Amino acid sequence: MMSVPPAHGQALTQNRAGPCARATYNRFTVSSTALNLAAPELIARYEPVIGLEVHVQLATATKIFCGCPTGFGALPNTNVCPVCLGLPGALPVLSRQAVELAIRGALALNCQIRAQSRFARKNYFYPDLPKGYQISQYDEPLAEHGYVDIVVEGAAKRIGVTRVHMEDDAGKSVHDGFPDSGRYSYVDLNRSGTPLIEIVSEPDMRNSDEAYAYLSEIKQALQFIEVSTCDMEKGHLRCDANVSVRLKGAEKLGTKAEVKNLNSFRFLKQALDFEIARQVAVLEGGGRVVQETRLYNADRGETFSMRSKEDAHDYRYFPEPDLVPLRIGERWIAEVRSAMPELPPLKRARFIAEYGLREYDADVLTQTRAASDYFETAVKVSGDAKTTANWVMGDLMGMLKAEGKEIGASPIGPENLGALVKLLAQGEISGKLAKEIFPKMFSTSDAPAAIMEREGLKQISDTGALGQIIADVIAANPKQVEQYKSGKTTVINYLVGQAMKATRGQANVAAVTDLLKQKLG
């Protein structure tokens, strides 16, 4: 029988910092604060070379090799079993759902799916890796030879994807305390065994903006096709960056450093900019960049050395003896491909061609699958794509942001928003009246027609009812009337506005304009 997991907060490993740890801490403090970075004019002489390794947690209900749940936030060491704890005699069983999500993700990145891939053991020893090895893929990955298209400052560029492979995640170490008061390490193995794909790029990026754009495209695509939530706060999307610099025009690559565990887009950009400047400063000072693994300290805005960088042979890869090779036929690939939704780049192009949207509007409306689906459903009702886009991007998204809600939780359904835009397009309500109805729709989730009926917000089109209002406007604005009669016809817009104000926006704008023109001769 499996032993009872430790209680909440109980340490599986507990280490007090001794003199060596304190010296390491002090060494980091001194080296970080004393570091001088290269000036911009020196950095401009060099060309950075950047490649990213993106780790994505697949949106499965269970772990990759066992039936333990993957839900976030459970008490430490409760979502575990003999398999993900690496206990002797426990055998892994590959999740079909994890494979299908991995195939979907690889197809979204334009990769070729290999007919056969194989799992391997990647050997290293950390307290949060109970097996003593990670089940990953090495020389026979799931997919390879893909690409991601990015646009930075109006320039398009294609970033190569070397490979996409599957693996299981390690657990999580939580470090607490300071050297002077004693340092404790806690291990939570709930994350151990969660399914990941690792997306390895070619070293095609030349600055932090390109890396930012590349990671953004990956995140958007994988969220769109529901491969992963890509929630960086929960560790569902993490990134390691390999960075080197060389003099512009040089062919030979410089020595790279790896910056690990970047868990936000902002930190990725900051870490890359710092690391580029650091390496240039080392070279310009006559030093030598060493191959190493570094971490990013967000509080200081600096990278610092973690350990020397391992090579592949250091992991002693060998085929996983407990798993047979994974064979994926064309029929399986076709089934996965047919179930995939339209990808963001294709949807953006279609929105521009089919609906006549601006490129910016199409980009905003395809940031998430929920937003694009909402827009298209609303357009089917309204029949006016451009006005619908303006309402979705402006009024709706603004109010949702103020309330801290996503568009999928909008109180205004897409059909109701489409109905409001249709009333506006047909001239049955004015823009002012639509703006008055909209917040009532948001607070009640009612259709615009129901709100208009309940609150008497119907448009006034009857010329008899408008006649007295027009007469009052003319009498109250003699100066503007005189300007109109003298040939300054644009002043009629002011008079129309006064009539709309008098009717709380309920007057028919066209009818008011015609009556004013008649009265003014």
The fold of the 463-519 domain, in CATH, is Arc Repressor Mutant, subunit A (1.10.10)
**DSSP-derived secondary structure letter, 236:** S
Give the confidence band of 482 by pLDDT, cuts at 50, 70, 90.
confident
- Give residue 462's pLDDT: 56
Q: CB-based contacts of 242: which residues, under 8 Å, 6+ apart?
A: 50, 51, 52, 53, 203, 256, 257, 258
Q: What's the 3-state SS for 347-401?
A: HHHHHHHHHCCCHHHHHHHCCCHHHHHHHHHHHHHHCCHHHHHHHHHHHHHHHHH
Q: Encoding tokens for residue 323?
A: 């798993």
- Residue 10: C-alpha distances to residues 5, 81, 160, 181, 191 (Å): 9, 18, 45, 19, 17
- Tell me the pLDDT band of 3, cut-offs 50, 70 and 90: very low
Q: Which of 374, 390, 505 is nearest to 437 (CA)?
A: 505
The pLDDT assigned to 514 comes to 73
Q: How confident is the model at residue 174 (pLDDT cuts 50, 70, 90)?
A: confident
pLDDT, position 178:
58
Q: Is the pLDDT of residue 339 over 80?
A: yes
pLDDT (average), residues 232-252: 95
**Would you state the pLDDT for residue 179?**
59
Average pLDDT over residues 253-274: 95
Q: Which range, of 4-18, 311-325, 430-444, averages the lowest pLDDT? A: 4-18
> Is 149 within 8 Å of 157 (Cβ atoms)?
yes
Distance set, CA 111 to CA 143, 159, 203, 331, 492 (Å) = 6, 12, 17, 17, 61
Tokens for 278, please give them.
Answer: 């650091």
Straight-line distance from the first to the last Cα atom of the chain, in angstroms, rounded to the nearest whole number: 97
Q: What is the pLDDT of residues 80-113, one digit of tens each?
A: 999 999 999 999 999 999 999 999 999 999 999 9
Range list for CATH 1.10.10.410 in the chain:
463-519
Residue 155 CA to residue 207 CA, distance in Å, equals: 13
Residues 187-240: tens digit of each pLDDT: 999 999 999 999 999 999 999 999 999 999 999 999 999 999 999 989 999 999
Is the pLDDT at 442 greater than 70, yes or no?
yes
What is the chain's mean pLDDT, rounded? 87
**Helix (H/G/I), strand (E/B), else coil: 431:** helix
Average pLDDT for 417-446 = 91
Asked if residue 404 has pLDDT above 90, the reply is yes
What is the pLDDT at residue 347? 96
pLDDT exceeds cutoff 70 at 494? yes
Residues 27-85 pLDDT 10s: 333 333 335 688 899 999 999 999 999 999 999 999 999 999 999 889 999 999 999 99
SS3 state of residue 365: helix
Q: How far is CA 134 from each of CA 75, 322, 344, rounded to the nearest angstrom?
A: 23, 13, 33
The answer to whether 368 touches 223, Cβ cutoff 8 Å, is yes
Tell me the three-class secondary structure of 176-199, residue by residue.
Answer: EEECCCEEEEEEECCCCCCEEEEE
pLDDT of residue 312: 62
Q: If you average pLDDT over residues 406-422, what whole number do you get?
A: 96
Reported confidence tier of residue 490, pLDDT bands at 50, 70, 90: confident
- pLDDT-derived band at 13, boundaries 50, 70, 90: very low
Question: pTM of the full predicted structure?
Answer: 0.81
Predicted local confidence at residue 177, as pLDDT: 65
* CA-closest candidate to residue 129, choices 82, 71, 169: 169
* Residue written as token pair 């005699």: 89
How sure is the predictor about 307, in pLDDT bands with cuts at 50, 70 and 90?
Answer: confident
| 299 exposure class (CB count in 10 Å sphere: 0-12, 13-18, 19+) | exposed
C-alpha span between 191 and 63 (Å, rounded): 9
- Inter-residue contact 305 to 294 (CB < 8 Å): yes
Query: Among 263-272, 471-480, 508-517, where is mean pLDDT lowest?
Result: 508-517
Task: Give the chain's count of helices (H) and strands (E).
Answer: 18, 16
pLDDT of residue 14: 35
Residue 161 has a pLDDT of 98
The arrangement of strands across the sheet holding 119-123 comes to 133-137, 119-123, 318-319
List residues bridging with 320 in a β-sheet: none
Q: Answer yes or no: is pLDDT of 5 > 80.
A: no
pLDDT of 181: 58
The pLDDT > 70 percentage for the chain reads 88
Helix or strand holding residue 495 (H, E): helix 492-502
Question: At residue 127, does pLDDT exceed 90?
Answer: no
What H or E segment, with its residue span, contains residue 373? helix 369-382
pLDDT digits (tens, 9 = 90+) for 340-363: 999 999 999 999 999 999 999 999
Q: Residue 461: its pLDDT value, please? A: 59
Instruction: Report the distance separating Cα 288 and Cα 281, nearest Å.
Output: 10
What is the pLDDT, as a whole number, of residue 9? 36
pLDDT of residue 27: 32
